[in-house]
Structure 1
Amino acid sequence: MSFLPRTLSRLLRTQSPATRATINLTRTTIRTAQTEATSSTLNTRPPPPPHHHSFQHTHTKPSPPAHKPQFQNKTQKPAVPEDPIATHPLLHSLRADQTLKETRPHLSMPQHLRPAHFVAGTLAGEKKLTSAPYMFISRRDTSPSTSESTDANTTATPQHKPHATTLFHTGTHMCGHPGFVHGGFLSVMFDEVFAHTVSQAFRSGTGMTANLNVNFRKPALPDRIYVLRAEVVKVEGRKAWVEGTMTMLADGAKGEDVMVAEARALFVEPKFAEKMVPVYRN
């Protein structure tokens, strides 16, 4: 009975039988309570970890987003803007001309060269140069050229002068002053079409701009179709002179075509032309 207080043991020896029975009952109650407490302690499991425990969500799947991405279906493709040139009557008229060769040089350009190309890459896109220009170039003449010697200098004029007609559409994000197409963009288009045209005049098929002169006649408007006509007027050795006009086509049956600019340029065939990447060779 070492676990009972000494006072309780002394009372058991000195008290009456009734008191002693009461004390024994108290002792039994204490012993039973201690035994139950010990058993309860041994059989009780630790409480579960709180909900914010780091392992609680180790394998929990994330909740699905409230809104699915617009192009989640891999088979779904973004809508391609309609080509405003594809149904134009002038395009069909040019296609009917057997003396012209249709080409879209920016689409046939090697894929890895397009991003670095100013027209095919930087200027191309929605609301800019909205589609790859349609270009119709005169077929290369295989007959021998004529030469006229008037003095010590010999000027060779090809019997068939290369010429080209190009259709392109200008979006709304190519403006200088609000509501008017930037003149720099028009100059770039002259230079681009001239380069393709003059490629027919050089043996290497490559010429570089030496001089470009543009005269602006009327304001050019955005979201319109333009036709650019170019012609090689003279070839002298490694030099070729090109002239051309740019016309804004009528918007609807009531409108009229308006010539917005004209230009002339000098191109030179570089001595290292054969080593250049053939971007402008048709």
Structure 2
Amino acid sequence: MVGATTPRSLLSATMKDHTQCGDFQGDLRGKIQSVIENSALVKSLRRRANCLESRPLSLPDDVRREHLVAGLMSGSESIPVTPYSFLEQTQEGYKLTMILYVGPNLSGHPGWAHGGFIATLLDESIARCAFQAMPTKVGVTANLSINYRKPIQLRQYLVVTARTVRTEGRKVFAEGWIEKFQADDDNYEQEILAEASAVVVSLQQVSSEVSLITKCDTPNIAFFH
């Protein structure tokens, strides 16, 4: 039949499409990593002696598949690159700075971040910071209060900052906020897009699954609450 696509040519075309798609995704990830790593903020954080850098969503494959953020919310059209996380211990407590790129598949209204995703991002970051003030380094969020200040546009870079406020027994009080990321200036005027306060409670018993991850990479346990 004239103009018909044979199975061989169809397979070849499909393989070509997948290759081009893979190349595009690789280029996108490379560009995102380059922007973040060459930013004034990241360079400044890496120069600080008391600042610990980690990639909190770099989990084992079997754990990643069942994890909300590392699994369902990660991908070329959502969170294409594992966020960059920097943890500092100060005289006031612990402070966490996380930089990431957010893609179009995290929307509520088209082009704008879903409120549930914003809540999850704040919850994960604040809890990760609060865990550092706990003996077991892991806990659960008991209360989370969010103020959505401005709509957050997708297809952009964000900075999430969290810090501990005080500790009362097993409870850690902490707060966090989301800002636009300015790659070429670490002294830019702050524009808070969303903010939250939280109470995170330490766990008295830690499951074997969390213990396993703790042995592999302590910072990663922040994503098991």
The answer to whether the 8 A contact 1:137-1:165 is kept is yes
CA distance in 2, matches of 1:124, 1:261: 21
Q: 1:167 to 1:243 in 2, by over 3 A?
A: same
Structure 2 unaligned segments of length 5 or more: list them: 1-5, 220-225
1:67-146 alignment runs, 5 A limit: 67=10, 68=12, 71=15, 78-79=22-23, 80=26, 81=28, 82-84=30-32, 85-107=36-58, 109-139=59-89
The answer to whether the 8 A contact 1:218-1:258 is kept is no
State the Cα RMSD in Å.
2.8
CA distance in 2, matches of 1:76, 1:221: 27
CA distance in 2, matches of 1:113, 1:271: 22
Aligned to 1:208: 140
Q: 1:251 to 1:93 in 2, by over 3 A?
A: closer
* Higher RCO (CA-CA < 8 Å; seq separation 6+): 2
Aligned to 1:245: 177
SS at match of 1:262: strand
Aligned to 1:268: 201
Aligned to 2:131: 199
TM-score between the two structures when normalised by the length of structure 1 = 0.63
SS at match of 1:177: coil
1:66 aligns with 2:9: yes
Give the counterpart letter for 1:267 in structure 2.
V
CA distance in 2, matches of 1:86, 1:198: 25
Q: 1:123 to 1:77 in 2, by over 3 A?
A: closer
Structure 1 unaligned segments of length 5 or more: list them: 1-62, 142-158
SS at match of 2:104: coil
Aligned to 2:222: none
Give the counterpart letter for 1:224 in structure 2.
Q
SS at match of 1:106: coil
The answer to whether the 8 A contact 2:146-2:194 is kept is yes
Q: 1:112 to 1:261 in 2, by over 3 A?
A: same
Note the C-alpha offset of 1:70: 5.0
The answer to whether the 8 A contact 1:83-1:131 is kept is no
Aligned to 1:188: 120
Deviations 1:163-210 (A, max 9, x none): 110001111121111222111111101111112111211111101110
Give the counterpart letter for 1:248 in structure 2.
K
Deviations 1:209-229 (A, max 9, x none): 101111011111111111111
The answer to whether the 8 A contact 2:131-2:202 is kept is no
CA distance in 1, matches of 2:7, 2:79: 40
What is the number of residues matched between the two proteins? 198
Give the counterpart letter for 2:78 in structure 1.
K
Which structure has the highest helix share of the two?
A: 2
Q: 1:112 to 1:276 in 2, by over 3 A?
A: closer
SS at match of 1:78: helix
The answer to whether the 8 A contact 2:40-2:184 is kept is no
Note the C-alpha offset of 1:256: 6.7
Aligned to 2:223: none
CA distance in 2, matches of 1:275, 1:238: 21
Identical positions, percent: 31
The answer to whether the 8 A contact 1:163-1:231 is kept is yes
Deviation >4 Å, runs of 4+? 69-72, 250-253
Q: 1:83 to 1:210 in 2, by over 3 A?
A: farther
Larger radius of gyration: 1
The answer to whether the 8 A contact 1:250-1:256 is kept is no
